[in-house]
Amino acid sequence: MPWLIRNHESHDYSRVDTTMRMLAILGLLAAGAAASTPSADFDSLDRNGDGYLSRIEITAVPDIARRFAQFDSDKDRRLSRAEYAVARAEDEKRALHDAALTARVKEALNAARGMPTTAISVETFQGEVQLTGFVPAPDLASRAGRITAGVSGVRMVHNNLVVRQK
């Protein structure tokens, strides 16, 4: 059964089948990623075989490497198997949250009249949304930023839309 969302301006209903399908696929992908064993991952990353991951070894996983200090709970400048498992779980949870937020932003932009959504790219990391692409008028760029900022869960908008006259 398709989900329907009411557009307040035109009082009509539009299908959001694609958004729901995308969220379902993301959920399945996350479940598959969670099913892979963190231990095998850890062993392949632990190049020197000491049972810990250094900052250099963890660079193979950029999202965890960015927040290395946050995951190093005992502050010994290395990640144990337990710390790595927590880091992976939190990273997968963040990725799912960001994917859902990206879908909500795209849906909000699609619902806006006159918005060239095919020319706008939306990327999200930790609740910060980056808009990139080209729009034909300056007011569309600022409007896209305002629409994005109004979506629940968006912490910050980086509006990098470029105005390109036709």
Per-residue pLDDT tens digits for 2-33: 444 444 444 444 555 555 566 666 665 555 55
Find all residues with CB under 8 Å of 87, minimum gap 6, and list them. 64, 67, 71, 79
**Residue-level pLDDT at 57:** 95
Question: What count of Cα atoms within 13 Å lies in the side-chain half-sphere of residue 21?
Answer: 6
Structural domain range at position 122: 4-163
What type of residue sits at position 2?
P
Please give the model's pTM, rounded to 2 decimal places: 0.69
Alpha-carbon Rg for the chain in angstroms = 20
Q: Give the span between the Cα atoms of 166 and 160, in whole angstroms.
A: 19
Order the strands of the 156-163 sheet from edge to edge: 120-125, 128-135, 156-163
**Residue-level pLDDT at 165:** 78
H-run or E-run covering 83: helix 81-111
**Residue-level pLDDT at 117:** 87
How many domains would you assign to the chain?
Answer: 1
**Residue-level pLDDT at 45:** 93
Residues of the chain with pLDDT under 70: 1-39, 166
**Residue-level pLDDT at 49:** 93
**Residue-level pLDDT at 40:** 73
Q: Are 68 and 91 in contact (CB under 8 A)?
A: no
